[in-house]
Structure 1
Amino acid sequence: MRVIGLISGTSVDGIDAALVEISGTQADLQATLVAGHTFSYPAALREQILAVCADGPLSMAALAELDDAIALQFAEAAIALQQDHGPAALIGSHGQTVFHRPATADRLGYSLQLGRGAAIAHRTGLPTITNFRAADIAAGGQGAPLVPAVDAILLRHPTRYRCVQNLGGIGNVTYLPPQTCDEAVRGWDTGPANALLDLAVQHFSQGAQRYDQGGAWAAQGQPCEPLVQRWLQQPFFQEEPPKSTGRELFGPAYLAQCLEDAAAYQLTPADTLATLTELTAASVAQEYQRLAVSPEEILLCGGGSRNCYLRDRLQARLPSARVLTTDDAGLSADFKEAIAFAVLAYWRHHHLPGNLPSVTGAQQSVPLGEIHYVGGSGPC
């Protein structure tokens, strides 16, 4: 089956679209990337999404308009991909997260992704699966991260301990013991990755730059280690997994506090960017201390995998492991998340579970996603 996976992450950089050829079920799953492309949001829509993520007020009418506008962009991405690379039979759309509230001991979590599946199905003429997080949350899980279930099939090594480290707006890890080991796959959010860095770059460049390409600006600075250690005292970093987070915590208000803290050390913009980069590297290394066995290989993916300075700092913080990318293991580092949601949609189509309770904390494995059929029937 040819399936399209669609996702826009917490950085709101654009829609990653992957056309994937999938066969098998789970143990024998094969997933081959036919084509991948990133489609930028219109500037005004991106600003509106970012404002909502920053807790800006929104009427129900405006929410409906935003939901439809995002769905249209996702649908157009799927249509464009097929025009260039041939038809698909199914779409799996993660949508755009605008709010995420982790589960607690006495309250279910809540996660809202916009880009309604019925509209995508109507526009594309393809069955579309969306709202992947809801079933895991209803089973008592965090609803995130969901990609480790796919990592466990596609990236587990016969003999090596691996960590797959996604570096999107938020970082998350998948811990993969060797295939010959009975130890459970684990995974959780590690903290900020590109979210704070991108916000800081936009602040210091007065909007002229959206991100620090290759980490070149940060590489000119000197990280302030006392400040890194202070930031690592944030309660999220002390929590035990399962855990998840988002821009609700590591967003504009958090950056404002970081900039206020940095002012006391008289840091230059480059120093501040280097220190924020160091926070990501240090938080990843600190989270890895929770693992039973240190990884031999760390496979990076997401936009941060292209940040050479961040990669170097991760290698410095984790010297016993080889820091690579998922490209080195045969899976696109740029489109791995989109590939994963194509697989999760494929599993839902075949009534197979898609979550890992050892990762999300759910009480059981469940199929993920709601199916929206062409012609308006659904979800189911």
Structure 2
Amino acid sequence: MQLTEQTTVCQRVIGLISGTSVDGIDAALVEISGRELDLKIELLAGATYPYPTDLRERILAVCAGEAISMAELAEIDDAIALAFAQAAQNIQIGHQPANLIGSHGQTVYHRPPGVRGLGTGNLGLEKILPSTESPIPSTQSLGYTLQLGRGALIAYLTGITTVSNFRVADMAVGGHGAPLVSRVDAYLLSHSQERRCIQNIGGIGNVTYLPPQYENWLEKIRGWDTGPGNSLLDLAVQHLSAGTKTYDENGNWAASGTPCYPLVEQWLSQDYFHLPPPKSTGRELFGVTYLHQCLKDAQAYQLSPADILATLTELTVASIVHSYRTFLPEMPQRVLVCGGGGRNLYLKQRLQLLLAPVPVLTTDEVGLSADFKEAIAFAVLAYWRHLNIPGNLPAVTGAPREMLLGEIHQS
């Protein structure tokens, strides 16, 4: 059954996403009802489906800036779509079939507005872009993002209408296209009396600040990418273990080391941490090149591998805390963590220590799966797209207005 603005009865929707860490595809099968303040979700099934090793390596290479041909890019795009379609099929096993998919796809490139990219100098775009009074005054301010795993192919392979390319509409009007989950956070996790921060720690960290629900509270919500989440940690683990490990389980390796605080202070002087929101980032900044510079900086301190991991973990935590203290209108009364970083016990303990006395919990503890919150969010964004409900928050992304997010591909 096709959703309409009047059809707000319970719908079964699949949310799919592979994050910056490229761990695999998070899939969530959810039942959704309501619209906004009355929005309700029930998680029927959630699972993570790892990429085949060779595909993951090819994705990581592209994310690291490796030059490839258009033919190779097309192959990767197809392979990702096939993997996403298979995840959508698998998550439905044993359940009534879904009638909608929201697929975020796999981000392989993200250029925030105002960041000059390579190859934009002589395309003559200034002749066709709007005037300086418009939201996008020049090629200097154009943002760009690319998520692979084309929605049209997922729709065809699954036989389910699929919404994809959620970020591009926000970026087309001058927004960052990130964070996009803040509106979902607002309707699922806000509180009538309590200030909350919803801190996602994926490959990149992002925060949504939720004031108590009172008059015009939606306009007072803030959000931005806080900086590295697990991206540098995972890259460091792979490097320090000579490829035998891909992540630090529970943060145990880092916990056996000692952070080098002078290094953390040095790294926190990086421009991104001091740039006011709205702002977004990705592996283009906090990736392989950044890690190599960190490792080079660490040589002067003769750190052990465990010390290096402890110091990089401290950077993630310190960047989150610094951004709260610098950019929030008020400190939160509660922090709810989600994403892979929530399973890093050492990282979570350090965050709790630096934010004390503010309690640091996970979204599980308020009834929303911490592991699959991002996948759930894109299921909701797809649901909203079919109801013609905007998905972005301009105060978060920097867009000049609310936008319908996502391109609809009929099955």
Give TM-score, length-normalised by structure 1: 0.97
Correspondence list, 1:141-156, <5 A? 141-156=175-190
Per-residue CA distance 1:33-76 (angstroms, 9 max, x = gap): 11100000000000000000000111111111111000000000
Correspondence list, 1:22-171, <5 A? 22-104=32-114, 106-171=140-205
Aligned residue in 1 for 2:13: 3
Identity %: 66
1:110, CA displacement in angstroms?
0.4
* Separation in structure 2 between the aligned mates of residue 54 and residue 304 of structure 1, nearest angstrom: 21
Per-residue CA distance 1:157-206 (angstroms, 9 max, x = gap): 11111000000000000000011364411100000010000010111111
Aligned partner of residue 93 in structure 2, secondary structure: helix
Aligned residue in 2 for 1:363: 400
* Separation in structure 2 between the aligned mates of residue 282 and residue 56 of structure 1, nearest angstrom: 31
Moved more, 84-93 or 254-263: 84-93
Unaligned runs of 5+ in 2: 1-10, 115-136
* Separation in structure 1 between the aligned mates of residue 68 and residue 155 of structure 2, nearest angstrom: 26
Return the letter of the residue paired with 1:152: A
Aligned residue in 1 for 2:247: 211
Aligned partner of residue 73 in structure 2, secondary structure: helix
Aligned partner of residue 286 in structure 2, secondary structure: coil
Aligned residue in 2 for 1:268: 304
Count of residue pairs brought into register by the alignment: 374
RMSD: 0.9
* Separation in structure 1 between the aligned mates of residue 271 and residue 356 of structure 2, nearest angstrom: 26
Correspondence list, 1:183-202, <5 A? 183=217, 184-202=220-238
Q: Does the alignment pair 1:235 with 2:271?
A: yes
Q: Does the alignment pair 1:345 with 2:382?
A: yes
* Separation in structure 2 between the aligned mates of residue 14 and residue 84 of structure 1, nearest angstrom: 22
Per-residue CA distance 1:59-107 (angstroms, 9 max, x = gap): 1111111110000000000001112323000000000000000012842
Aligned partner of residue 27 in structure 1, secondary structure: coil
* Separation in structure 2 between the aligned mates of residue 234 and residue 79 of structure 1, nearest angstrom: 43
Unaligned runs of 5+ in 1: 375-380
Per-residue CA distance 1:273-322 (angstroms, 9 max, x = gap): 00000001100000001111111110000000011100111011111210
* Separation in structure 2 between the aligned mates of residue 293 and residue 202 of structure 1, nearest angstrom: 38
1:370, CA displacement in angstroms?
0.2
Aligned residue in 2 for 1:303: 340
* Separation in structure 2 between the aligned mates of residue 346 and residue 191 of structure 1, nearest angstrom: 29
* Separation in structure 2 between the aligned mates of residue 47 and residue 282 of structure 1, nearest angstrom: 30
Return the letter of the residue paired with 1:167: I
1:230, CA displacement in angstroms?
0.1
